[in-house]
Amino acid sequence: MKNKILKEQLHYLKYAMFHPFDGFYEIKYRGKGSALIASVILILYGIMQCVSYQYTGFVMNMNAIFQMNSVSIFISALSVFLLFTVSNWTITTLFNGKGNMRDIYIVLGYSVVPMLLLNGLTVFISNFVITEEIIILRSLQGIGVVWFVFILLAGLCIIHEYSFAVNIKTLLATAVAAFIIVFLGILFFSLMERMYYFVMSVAQEMVRRIN
Amino acid sequence: MKKKSLLILLVFLLVFLPTRVYAADGKSYDYDGYTYNYWWNAVESPAAFQLDTVIDEADMGGIKVQGFNDVATSEDGHIFLVDTLESRVNITDQNGSFIKSLKVIRDADNKIVIDESGAQLVFNAPEGVFYQEKNKELYIADTGAERIVVLDGSDYTLKRVIKKPENMAGVSEFRPSKIVVDSADRIYVVVQSSYEGIIELNPDGTFSRYFGVNSPSVNFLDYFWKSISSDRQKEQMKKTFAPAFNNVALDSDGFVYAVTFDAAAEHMVFRLNSGGKNVLREEGNTFVIGDIHKMNRNEQSQFVDVAVKDYGTYAVLDKYKGRIFLYDFDGQLLNAFGSLGKTKGSFSMPTGITWSGDNLVVTDSALKCAYILKPTDFGKAALQASKSYYYGDWDEALVQFDNILKLNANYEVAYVGIGKNYLMKDDYKKAMYYFKLGNNREFYSKAYNGHRGEVLQDNFGIIAVIFLAFISLILYTEVRYHKKESGHK
């Protein structure tokens, strides 16, 4: 039974890649999506970023591998998606979007798949190319990005029941919201740091006076 | 028992005595060198030069020294040092022993020359000197007197005096500061803070043209404001002038090298062709800008002089950090060393640099001395490798690069050099190995192209079989599919 559900969900993952409008309709309104699968895809994407940092062929790879930090690569790859999910959700709730956070998360996770696969392919082939052939691989990567953007736009249109123009507007607003979130985050942490040092110095002062 | 304790003492001494041994002759001074790697990180390296001799007032036979401002050498080993404040040109041999000091000019009959106003012809704050090998003439830029004095190269008697040419165009004052003369006897004169370029004079002393373009780097914000402001507003604004050249040198092919330390300049080092265009090769890990400051532009190196070897390796002198940067003809940084300070071997206000054979002569105006720097083992190998490589002497270059790697395993230039050698011999696997160590992607790709071709050729049979099998598999499935389809009908 469980196996069958999983098989069906994977079928709709593939379906959404090639027919995003119908696919995401089924996923939202008939419950064919899975946040678990989306999470797995995003984690795989984070791992793929680390892999491509290290294992891209020497001709294409400009990274200083000896100073690679896989944890920071992984986190910075995923935090962008999390930030997008949260800020898109905050904006679309204000703009009468029908999608909830889970829907946005699933759309995002699912639409990463073509980019993930093409990146993997590029990393593999890049070990067998010379400088003149790099442009082929770059265009392959470009196709992955365009595909990702297309599915994402289509998916967001469907789950929020937006027209294309409204969708673009909310995406711009999303960028602003993301910027504000990051700004507030930095503000919060720096304030916390100052408060910590303030409390610490007061405490130290007290300890010294009492002694 | 006694033997054992002696042995322990010996081991103790060996372990705890300082292992780094300095040359004990009392005059050598070790510099700390470095280069930049592919990612622009500074990588430690042995310095290419060490201090050999200090030339100061004590060596000058009782003549006062107030600081040397420029230096030139001749092929027979003489070193000419210009002392601007004392208005003298002091001459030493290649080891720094005093030969002669020039102040009052005499003619061929050993009479003191009188100029047209009736006064003796005496140097007046000269700033530059150049020795031309072809005619054996010593050119002295007599800055304060606004003239160029040409002396005979062997007995230092007056040959001629070049004054401001009557046909000179432009607004630059004729205050010659630095000077070079090429093999066609054309004279290139640098005037400090002249934005019109280097003054080129014909052999007879008439004005030819301004030479070299030094474009300022334009700031986008300034560009924006200028583009929207009116003509009257523009008049009020600060004008952007072309940055001035500060010093010149000549290479063996007759190209003029020039340096500038103007912060507004786009390039810092120039190799000017006869049309005055910059043709300096910058194929190394970094551009030819000396130290890399990723954050602050104001901390860039300020080059005061450049010295070019006949095989295109050049040294530039930075007054901001008191460093000498050694580049090869491709613009690859071979070595950087030196520091500011008041102690022996360091620089305070470095002013001039030139080659004397394989040695470097560096002058300093604040420390009132000149240094003769001698190449270290590493430096010798680096220069020799650069030379052999430049002249296409590949086997010799390979030997020298191998020597260098024994002294400095962080030296990317050597790895790339060895890789190129193997690439020429079609030994692609070895070439790939060395290019990878030298972080040279362009040549790695070339070597890999050859290697891939070889692999494909060797395994052509297997690849063809796999390819054919793949095609026939597709054909087979297509045929079966169509049979099924027609069967359904």
Joined tokens for residue B384: 């020799």
Residues pairing with A147 in the sheet: none
* Element housing B40 (H / E): none
Mean pLDDT of the residues in chain B: 87
How confident is residue B28, by pLDDT bands cut at 50, 70 and 90? low
d(CA A58, nearest CA chain B) in Å: 7
Q: What is the largest distance, in Å, between two alpha-carbon atoms of chain B?
A: 122
- For B223-238, write each residue's pLDDT tens digit: 788 788 888 877 777 6
Which segment of A204-208, B136-140, B239-243 scores lowest on mean pLDDT? B239-243
How confident is residue B249, by pLDDT bands cut at 50, 70 and 90? very high
Cα separations in angstroms, A52 against A68, A73, A140: 11, 11, 14
- For A62-107, write each residue's pLDDT tens digit: 999 888 999 999 999 999 999 999 999 999 999 888 889 999 999 9
Of A62, A64, A130, the CB nearest to B445: A130
pLDDT of residue B24: 44
- For B380-397, write each residue's pLDDT tens digit: 999 999 999 999 898 899
d(CA A131, nearest CA chain B) in Å: 6
CA–CA distance, B259 with B270 (Å, rounded to integer) = 6
- Contact list, A135 vs chain B (CB under 8 Å): none
Torsion of CA B426, B429, B434, B435, to 10 degrees: 80
> What pairing do the DSSP bridges indicate for beta strands B68-73 and B42-46?
unpaired
Q: Which residue, chain included where needed, has tokens 């020298």?
A: B400
Of A58, A62, A130, the CB nearest to B449: A130
How confident is residue B58, by pLDDT bands cut at 50, 70 and 90? confident
CA–CA distance, B57 with B60 (Å, rounded to integer) = 5
Cα separations in angstroms, A59 against A134, B155, B446: 8, 60, 10
CA–CA distance, B395 with B392 (Å, rounded to integer) = 9
Number of cross-chain residue pairs from A and B with Cβ atoms under 8 Å apart: 20
Looking at chain A, which residue has its C-alpha nearest residue B452? A128
Looking at chain B, which residue has its C-alpha nearest residue A61? B441
B446–A59 C-beta distance less than 8 A: no
CB B369 within 8 A of CB B83: no
Q: Which residues contact B134 (CB under 8 A, 6 or more apart)?
A: B183, B185
Computed on alpha carbons and rounded to an integer, the radius of gyration of chain A in Å comes to: 22
CB B96 within 8 A of CB B112: no
Residues of A with CB under 8 A from a CB of B: 58-59, 62, 64, 128, 130-132
How confident is residue B285, by pLDDT bands cut at 50, 70 and 90? confident
A130–B446 C-beta distance less than 8 A: yes
Looking at chain B, which residue has its C-alpha nearest residue A130? B445
Three-state DSSP at B36 gives strand
The three-point CA angle B30-B34-B40 to 5° equals 170
Residues of B with CB under 8 A from a CB of A: 38-39, 436, 441-442, 444-446, 448-449, 452
The three-point CA angle B53-B28-B82 to 5° equals 25
ipTM of the complex: 0.83
Of B38, B39, B448, the CB nearest to A130: B448
Joined tokens for residue B266: 């786009």
- Contact list, B446 vs chain A (CB under 8 Å): 130
The DSSP symbol for B124 reads -
- Contact list, B429 vs chain A (CB under 8 Å): none
